[in-house]
């Protein structure tokens, strides 16, 4: 079943290198979180701010929770599309959903939850307003 993806999302293409596979010939399970991270960086850019810029402005987003549902294996030389969107941003937390597809076939889906912390004190701070607004716009577009 095709996962519903909101309009305010980011997608990257990724061709699986041999180094990403394990002895069974499939993409090693931990590499999916790396794919989520690559997509997350592109998602940050479409909010109008890069992750690097956000850090220089005083905020960081460490992962405090990660979850992946594995549906089908990806293999060497597969051409994958990874799509991510900001599901919510409120208070000091935000969640980013991602899916990994090969053509129209869903291979994996999941999310990462991030705490927003000060880059100076490493104490919790509110999620930057532009991310809260972006999440709200994404949710509004999804409901329409």
Question: Where does the pLDDT of residue 6 fall: very low under 50, low under 70, confident under 90, or very high at 90 and above?
Answer: low
Q: What is the pLDDT of residue 137?
A: 79
Helix (H, G, I), strand (E, B) or coil at 102: strand
The per-residue pLDDT for range 23-73, each reduced to its tens digit, is 999 999 999 999 999 999 999 999 988 889 999 999 999 999 999 999 999
pLDDT exceeds cutoff 50 at 1:
no
Domain extent listing, the chain:
16-143
Q: Please list, residue by residue across 102-139, b when 16 or more beta carbons sit within 10 angstroms of its beta carbon and e when fewer do.
A: beeeebbbbbbbbbbbeeeeeeebebbeebbebbeebb
CA distances from 3 to 47, 52, 82 (A): 22, 30, 12
CB 104 within 8 A of CB 2: yes
CB 79 within 8 A of CB 96: no
* Whole-prediction pTM: 0.90
The per-residue pLDDT for range 104-123, each reduced to its tens digit, is 999 999 999 999 999 999 99
Q: What is the pLDDT of residue 98?
A: 97
Helices (H), 31-128: 31-46, 51-56
The per-residue pLDDT for range 73-109, each reduced to its tens digit, is 999 999 999 999 999 999 999 999 999 999 999 999 9
State the fold for domain 16-143: Thiol Ester Dehydrase; Chain A (3.10.129)
């Amino acid at each position: 079943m095709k996962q519903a993806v909101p309009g305010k999302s980011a997608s990257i293409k990724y061709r699986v290198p041999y180094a990403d596979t394990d002895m069974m010939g499939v993409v090693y399970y931990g590499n999916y979180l790396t794919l989520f991270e690559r997509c997350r960086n592109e998602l940050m850019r479409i909010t109008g701010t890069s992750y690097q810029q956000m850090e220089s402005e005083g905020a960081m987003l460490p992962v405090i929770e990660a979850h992946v549902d594995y549906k089908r294996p990806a293999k060497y030389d597969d051409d994958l599309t990874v799509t991510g969107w900001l599901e919510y941003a409120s208070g000091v937390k935000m969640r980013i959903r991602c899916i990994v597809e090969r053509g129209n076939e869903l291979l994996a889906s999941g999310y990462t939850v991030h705490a927003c912390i000060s880059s100076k004190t490493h104490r919790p701070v509110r999620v930057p307003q532009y991310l809260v607004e972006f999440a709200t716009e994404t949710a509004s577009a999804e409901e329409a």
